[in-house]
Amino acid sequence: MALKFALAGAAVAVLVQTSVYADGRTADTQSKSQPSPCSADALCVGDSEAFPTLASALAVAREGDTIEIVAATYRETAKITAPNVTLRGIGGRPHFDCAGMRISDDKACLLLAADGITLDNLEISGAKIPDRLGANGACVRNEPNLNFTLKRILCHGSQDGVLSAAGTILIEDSEFFDNGWTGLTHNVYFGGNCSVTVRRSVFRDARVGQEFKSRCFATDISDSTFRSRKGSRDLDIPDGGETTVYRSTIEKTRSAVDREIIGFTPESCAHPGDMVLKDVRIVNSRPAAKIVNFNRCVGHPIILEDVTFEGIKPKLVGFIKSEHGAN
Please, which contacts does 43-51 make with residues 24 or more away whose CB atoms are closer than 8 Å? 43/67, 43/68, 44/19, 44/68, 44/70, 45/69, 45/70, 46/70, 46/72, 47/72, 50/19, 51/27
Amino acid at 236: D
Strand-pairing partners, residue 17, are 29
**CATH code for the domain in which residue 73 is found:** 2.160.20.10
Q: What is the pLDDT at residue 21?
A: 53
| Alpha-helical regions (H) of the chain | 54-58
C-alpha 204/C-alpha 188 separation (Å) is: 10
* Intra-chain end-to-end CA distance of the chain, in Å: 72
Domain of residue 170, residue span:
38-182+197-205
Q: What is the pLDDT at residue 1?
A: 35
Q: Would you give the DSSP letter of residue 270? A: S
User: 108-133 burial by CB neighbour count: b if 16+ within 10 A, else e?
Assistant: bbbbbbbbbbbbbbbbbbbbbbeeee
Is 129 found in the same domain as 147? yes
Is 123 found in the same domain as 214? no
Q: What is the pLDDT at residue 99?
A: 98
Q: What is the pLDDT at residue 182?
A: 84
Q: What is the pLDDT at residue 31?
A: 47
Contact status, residue 94 vs residue 125, Cβ threshold 8 Å: no
| Pairing of the two strands 2-7 and 10-20 | antiparallel
DSSP 3-state assignment of 55? Answer: helix
Is 163 found in the same domain as 214? no
Tell me whether residue 191 is in a domain. Answer: no
pLDDT single digits (tens) 230-252: 999 999 999 999 999 999 999 99
Q: Write the DSSP assignment of 125-142 as a string of letters.
A: E-----GGGTS--EEEEE
Is 220 found in the same domain as 289? yes
Is 151 found in the same domain as 102? yes
Q: Write the DSSP assignment of 206-219 as a string of letters.
A: -SSS-S-EE--SEE
Q: How many domains does the chain have?
A: 2
C-alpha 55/C-alpha 51 separation (Å) is: 8
Per-block mean pLDDT, blocks of 10 residues, the chain (327 long): 34 41 53 76 96 98 98 98 98 98 98 98 97 96 98 98 97 97 92 97 96 98 97 97 98 96 98 98 97 98 98 98 72
C-alpha 256/C-alpha 314 separation (Å) is: 14
Q: What is the pLDDT at residue 323?
A: 84
C-alpha 1/C-alpha 233 separation (Å) is: 61
Is 269 found in the same domain as 177? no
